[in-house]
C-alpha cells in the first residue's frame, strides 16, 4: 500500500459539464502540463482508480451513474470536483435539470474553482488530493491493525 501512494490512478467523469473542464483535465496529461511526473495515470476503469475527477453540475440522468462509479472505486478514494459547476452548479444552477454541485450526490474532498478550471489549478487540486489520499490510507491501515489485535 505504501508504494501505491506514489502513483495514484485518475478516473475522469463528465457529469453534465460543458466540455471545457473535461478537455482541460485531458490537457493535464499531455506534454505541457504532464501530470504523469507525479506518477499519476489517467485510467478509464473505476475498479482501478484512486482519485475521481468529476466535472459539471450533476443532472437527473447521470446521478445514478455518478453514484455507481463512486461505489465501484475501491477504498480509500478521493473525489475532486473540477470547475465551478462541479463545486456549486455555476451558471447552470438555475437549470431545471441540474442538481447543483457534485457534493449533493457524493462526498467531495477537494474543490477546484474556475470556468473553465485552468490545468494549473486542476494539478494543484490533484496534488492536494494526494495528501488527503495518504491520510485516508493511513487511517485505513490503522483501522486494519486495530481489527487484527
Partner 1 sequence: MAKRSIVPFGPQHPVLPEPVHLDLVLEDEVVVDAVPSIGFVHRGLEKLVETKDFKEYVYIVERVCGICSFGHGLGYCQCLEQIMNVQVPPRAAYLRTIWMEMSRVHSHLLWLGLLADAMGFESLFMESWRLREKILDMFDATTGGRIIFSVNCIGGVLKDMDNGMLMRLSEVTQEIEQDLRPIADTFLWESTVRSRLHGLGILKKEDAILAGAVGPMLRASGVAYDARKLGYAAYNDLEFEPITSEEGDSYARCEVRIKEIFQSLSLIRQAISKIPNGPIQEPVKGNPNGEHFMRIEQPRGEAIYYVKASGGRFIDRFRLRTPTTSNIPPMVQMLKGCQLADVPLLVLTIDPCISCTER
Binding flag, residue 54, partner 1 (CB under 8 A): no
* 53 contacts 10 by C-beta, under 8 angstroms: yes
Written as one string, the DSSP assignment of 107-126 is: --SEEE--TTPPHHHHHHHH
In Å, what is the CA distance from 81 to each residue of 19, 32, 56, 58, 73?
14, 22, 8, 11, 16
Which one among 57, 100, 101, 125 touches partner 1, defined by CB under 8 A?
Answer: 57
Binding flag, residue 48, partner 1 (CB under 8 A): no
Binding flag, residue 14, partner 1 (CB under 8 A): yes
Binding flag, residue 97, partner 1 (CB under 8 A): yes
Binding site for partner 1 (CB under 8 A): 12-27, 30-32, 43-46, 56-57, 59, 61-62, 65, 69, 91-92, 94-98, 115-116, 118
Amino acid at each position: 500500500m505504501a508504494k501505491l501512494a506514489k502513483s495514484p490512478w485518475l478516473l475522469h467523469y463528465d457529469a453534465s459539464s460543458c466540455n471545457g473542464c473535461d478537455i482541460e483535465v485531458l490537457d493535464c496529461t499531455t506534454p505541457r502540463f504532464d501530470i504523469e511526473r507525479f506518477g499519476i495515470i489517467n485510467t478509464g476503469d473505476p475498479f482501478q482508480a484512486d482519485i475521481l475527477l468529476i466535472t459539471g453540475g450533476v443532472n437527473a440522468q447521470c446521478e445514478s451513474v455518478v453514484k455507481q462509479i463512486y461505489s465501484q472505486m475501491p477504498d480509500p478514494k478521493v473525489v475532486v470536483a473540477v470547475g465551478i459547476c462541479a463545486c456549486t452548479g455555476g451558471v447552470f444552477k438555475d437549470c431545471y435539470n441540474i442538481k447543483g454541485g457534485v457534493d449533493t450526490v457524493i462526498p467531495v474532498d477537494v474543490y477546484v474553482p474556475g470556468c473553465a478550471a485552468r490545468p494549473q489549478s486542476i494539478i494543484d487540486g490533484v496534488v492536494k488530493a494526494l495528501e488527503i489520499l495518504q491520510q485516508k490510507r493511513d487511517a485505513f491501515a490503522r483501522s486494519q491493525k486495530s481489527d487484527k489485535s
